[in-house]
Amino acid sequence: MKLAYKNSTLESVVIAVTVAAVLTVSATFVLLYGFDRPVLSETLLHTIQVAMLFVFLLEKTVRYFNVTDKRQFLRNNWFEAPLLLTLVIVAVGAGRWFAIAHRNEAILVAVSAYLVLQVISKVCLSMVVLAASGLNPSRTLVGIFIVLILAGAGLLMLPKAQTHRETPLSFTDAIFTATSATCVTGLIVRDTGADFTRMGQIVILTLIQLGGLGIVIFGGVLALLLGQSLNVKEAVAMQDLINAQTLNRIGTMIAFIFIATVLIEAVGAILLYPMWTQVPGTVATPDQQWFFSIFHSISAFCNAGFSLNTRSLMDFHGAWGVYLAICPLIVLGGLGFSVLYNLIGVMMARIRRLIKRHSCPQQFFQMGFSTRLQLQTKIVLTSTALLILGGTGLLMLFEHFSPDPQADGRFLSALFQSITARTAGFNTVPIEHLSAASKLTLIVLMYIGGSPGSPAGGIKTVTFVIVLMAVYATLRKRREVELFKRSVRLVVVGRAIAVAVLFMIILLAAILGLCVTERYSHWEVVDLAFEATSAIGTVGLSTGVTPTLTTAGKWIIIITMLVGRLGPLTLLAALMFNVKPAGYDYPSEPIMVG
């Protein structure tokens, strides 16, 4: 995707001008649509937008004459032609070739659409280039998340993003909400459905989608959709992000992630559509009903746990959509795309073999070996099933003997909370009424979290299984950790133990911090521990602590959510990128442990 230019200085100037143009266009849209009344004259802002249109055209012209391979440049920017053609048709043909009441407004809409597409494409593609720039990848990832959070917080603070203008969103609350959405957590200090307008809710939904899948992934998707190929550095950067095993599968994996996300979220939205009418007063129009469906489908698949209902899904406890739509979305989102890709590959291979077996029996034995489940897929599926069933059984048991009259020990309630506690953060029962044993069970599930390569947090299921099997191997005096008749490399075992220990250290530090900042509140330690675990596990469940947090407590949760989403090893890698491994080993000496 990277092109060579004759004059590197001129290209640097073009890049600087393009960045300034992108920022200017973004500012004009904020000033036009983020306030009740435009801060500047609408005529002036629209004039600036038209000027930026010509800046983008000049940028393409200069780059065309400066690039070494003009044919490749045209292939990479083929989409400019239909965009400009549409713009010209609207500008020239409005009122002539087709009837439009307000010609100038139609032209402004076309210009705005062109500018929006330009900004989106440049930002997303720049993220791919930045990830492959050779800089510290961990610092780059942290920087992208921080910029995304700050941008989201700024948009949420706009007057048109809030419903209660008399009590505007504070900076801390805006950062908290943006961090919770970007880190797909779901902890809220403001009611998403009541305190934010449709614009604010769309901002939150965008942050959930970008934070869940990653803006770099969207850049790769956009590059493939535009017909641009990834160079080696960009392919390696994408390989690290999507956990692809080989470089030649990068394009396939990116396409699979995009198609799977769109299909799963679309099917989820369709299944959820009829559910909202079961509780009167939830939705008023079909448009709102569709928005509710799309919002909750994306929130569930990205394991965010944000809901437009004040009481989450408690009012829909008996609705079939919760168990046939929300639960599958959460589970599929928590498995990870590499596992889904492997499952689809195995399924398609077996279907092809079955068809071949019946259509051409004589060629059946010439097909070679069938695609098999990878070790990670087996671990993820087995651990996910056991954790869901184990959590369900424990919650039913503990709530059955709970002294609280509002305790709910029914199977469906326990099943849903067992599923959502590891990844999402929706709830169908009041968490504050759960027994202490049930809260501790949920804390353990939140600490474990989802699976690698998914938006879910926690130490991850594979990490948990490897740590357990390392203990088992030690007790059985085995030299290696073994799973499904396969050995796990020592470096992977060490990484798993490091993740589990670092998560525990950060979690204990967060709990200790909350005990200090919330010392004047009535909350018990188990509630503060629940809150901290929900933050670092990016789950979003709460016993009611979140809205009552002090400013210092909110910032502790903000940092904990960011650490939980990025992972402690990512942050350590960002801090210790230049640390070189030692070239020597000290002599060993026996010591006693245990």
d(CA 292, CA 307): 9
Tell which residue, 464, 443, 449, 458, has the closest CA to residue 531.
Answer: 443
CB 169 within 8 A of CB 151: no
| DSSP character string of 337-357 | HHHHHHHHHHHHHHHHHHHHH
Which residues of the chain have a pLDDT value below 50? none
Residue 180 has what pLDDT? 93
d(CA 89, CA 107): 10
d(CA 451, CA 575): 25
Residue 517 has what pLDDT? 92
Amino acid at 534: S
Is 31 strand, coil or helix? helix
Residue 485 has what pLDDT? 84
CB burial readout 535-548, b (16+ within 10 A) else e:
bbbbbbbbbebbee
CB 357 within 8 A of CB 374: no
CB 568 within 8 A of CB 506: yes
Is 196 strand, coil or helix? strand
Indicate the domain borders of the chain. Answer: 1-131, 389-575
